Amino acid sequence: MTFFSVIEIVGTLAFAISGIRLAAAKRFDWFGAYVVGITTAIGGGTMRDIMLDLTPFWMLNGDYLVVTAFALAIVIGLRKYLVRLDNTFYIFDAVGLGLFTVVGIEKTLAAGFPMWVAVVMGTITGAAGGVLRDILINEEPLIFRKEIYALACVFGGVVFWGCQLLGLSGAALQIAAAVSVIAVRIVAVVFKLRLPVLK
């Protein structure tokens, strides 16, 4: 298994857990929670692949469906522990956001598109699954709220671009970009950093 594959699996697990946890808070049944989890995990990547005229990634590899089932089992089995982590649960979402942003950028570049398109697709890969999740659980999408979310993906894309220009490549490049997204998201939540509200 390549490092890139590990990023995809870990990102899927993190996003699926975040989606399932929110579905549980809405008192969805197990199947409903699984649907929310898989939508969170594959929604952004599916939108990306359709726009890039590629076969959606999860249709070529069933691991993502299995990983989401594993995420459901984790939430069910560790529910009491996860309740105690309630105030820090955004970390799962931040990890998924960072890892999937990198996945989106890499896949777009591999498809032959320029870097600016890769930044956009990285943002869609990271943030769009969360939008679909919030719609399914009848919440105002997080991307439209005041906390910095999608902009963290854009920042990660710019970091990826800059590091690439500086000669960084491979796992080091992917880690640098992912960590930048995760860091921006966590700092934004902890310090309540937000954009001005349009009045």
Give the pLDDT score at 12. 92
Give the pLDDT score at 87. 63
> Sign (positive/negative) of CA torsion 38, 43, 45, 49?
positive
Give the pLDDT score at 6. 84
Please state, in angstroms and rounded to a whole number, the distance separating the CA atoms of residues 189 and 90: 8
3-class SS string, 65-81: HHHHHHHHHHHHHCHHH
Q: Are 152 and 185 in contact (CB under 8 A)?
A: yes
Give the pLDDT score at 83. 66
Please state, in angstroms and rounded to a whole number, the distance separating the CA atoms of residues 104 and 109: 9
Q: Could you tell me the two tokens for 160?
A: 């990826």
Q: Are 156 and 181 in contact (CB under 8 A)?
A: yes
Geometric angle at alpha carbon 7, from 33 and 111, rounded to 5°: 105
Q: Could you tell me the two tokens for 21?
A: 């946890």
Q: What is the pLDDT tens value at each position of the chain, 199 positions in all?
A: 677 788 888 889 988 998 998 899 899 999 999 999 999 999 999 999 999 999 999 999 999 999 999 999 999 998 877 766 666 668 888 988 999 999 999 999 999 999 999 999 999 999 999 999 999 999 988 888 767 899 999 999 999 999 999 999 998 999 999 999 999 999 998 898 888 877 7
How many CB atoms within 10 Å of residue 164? Answer: 17
- With a threshold of 0.75, does the pTM exceed it? yes
